[in-house]
A and B are shown apart, each in its own frame.
Chain A
Amino acid sequence: MTAAADIEHRIADEVAHLPGVEVLYPADALSTRIRVALPSAIGSAPRQVTASESSVGWAVTVVVGIDEAHAAPDVCVSVHQAVSNCLREANLTATTITIRIASIH
């Protein structure tokens, strides 16, 4: 079994290595930078992903800040790709992958 928090950390590492991208804490919506959860479990405490759940669609939200030199829509595609790869490695599928750009500097 894999802890949802482990997947979140893995995604954070991958996304942080993308050029011009920084993982941020959002101020107003979420308590964590990256949230991986079943849609029905969003807001609940991190827990183990069971084998029976691994084939169910998961909801992922990533909040990032980006460098002005990189166009926001292009960054979203890059981050989405990184998240998809992480989920695939963990044998998880996603119902939604939400990329939220909260800062451009």
Chain B
Amino acid sequence: MTPDPGFDDEFVDGHTLDELGDYLDRGRVPPDPAIDQSADCQVALASLERLRRISESALSLEVAERGEVDEGWLRGILSGISREARAGRDIPLPSPEPVGVFRITEGAVRGLIRSAGDAVDGLVIGRCRLTGDVTEPGAPIVVDVDASVLWGVRIDDAADRLRAAIARQIERHTALVVDAIDITVHDVHSRRVREGDRR
């Protein structure tokens, strides 16, 4: 059965992540308006670029130590990118204009949270969720973030820095009332190799 580009996790606004990755490889040349002017594709491209930057160091370390790459880790993050690039719910912004209705999409905010991860060396954001009624002004919400870190990075420090970076971005760009930013570090890369070395 042919997957439905509108609903399949593999597709971002009708494009696969492979297609978007190839587009990045070509330096976005020739320009493709269907990608360049798609909000979802822009969110996904930004996430792919961030992932490439961090994974270059992570993968080179992993290949050097294990001789292979943890493809499950990459697959999980890529799956999160395609799923979370979608616009999602509309989040209201305060408007000083009588006829102005200002909104920011949930997908844009998730992209913002991912970009906050850039401020933290050696950490990659996997999945992020906004829990609570983001469509209701003033309603408290919780930001849930799954992350993985590179071997040697202090997890508590990295989590603190990520939490502060996310809070800054959300405060600057939205009117969301954040009750908590929960960060779960679920993987440390090359840990298995290090443990194996100790045996």
- A residues at B contact (CB < 8 Å): 23-29, 33, 63, 65, 68, 71-73, 76-77, 80, 84, 94-105
A71 to B46 alpha-carbon distance, docked (Å): 18
Query: Closest residue of chain B to A100, judged by CB?
Result: B103
Question: Once the chains bind, are B104 and A27 in contact (CB under 8 Å)?
Answer: no
B163 within 8 A of A: no
Contacts of A26 in B (CB 8 A): 39, 87
Q: Given that A65-B39, A68-B115, A76-B93 are known contacts, is A104 also in contact with B108, CB under 8 Å in the complex?
A: yes
A97 to chain B, nearest CB (A): 5
- Which residues of chain A come closer than 8 Å to B86, judged between CB atoms? 27-28
On chain A, the residues within 8 Å of B55 by CB distance are none
* Cα A22 to Cα B103 with chains together (Å): 15
A71, B39: Cβ atoms closer than 8 Å: no
Distance between Cα atoms of A27 and B173 in the complex (Å): 21
The one of A24, A29, A76, A84 in contact with B102, judged by C-beta atoms closer than 8 angstroms, is A76
- Over the window 9-43 of chain B, the binary record of Cβ atoms lying under 8 Å from chain A Cβ atoms (1 yes, 0 no) is 00001000000000000000000000001111011
A29 & B99 in contact (Cβ 8 Å cutoff): no
**Interface residue from A24, A28, A98 paired with B42 (Cβ < 8 Å):** A24
Q: What are 29 A-B pairs with beta-carbon distances under 8 A?
A: A24-B39, A27-B39, A33-B37, A65-B42, A72-B93, A73-B173, A73-B175, A77-B96, A77-B100, A80-B95, A80-B97, A84-B97, A95-B99, A96-B100, A96-B101, A99-B103, A100-B105, A101-B103, A101-B104, A101-B105, A102-B39, A102-B40, A102-B42, A102-B108, A103-B39, A103-B40, A103-B43, A103-B111, A104-B112
Known: A27-B39, A33-B37. A102 touches B87 (CB 8 A): yes
Question: A97–B97 contact, CB under 8 A?
Answer: yes
Q: CB-defined interface of B175-186 with A at 8 Å, one 1/0 digit per residue?
A: 100000000000
The B39-74 residues at the A interface (CB cut-off 8 A) are 39-40, 42-43, 45-46
Note all chain B residues with C-beta closer than 8 A to A29.
87
Hey, which chain B residues are within 8 Å of A97, CB to CB? 97, 99-101
- Residues from chain A with a CB closer than 8 A to the CB of B95 are 76, 80
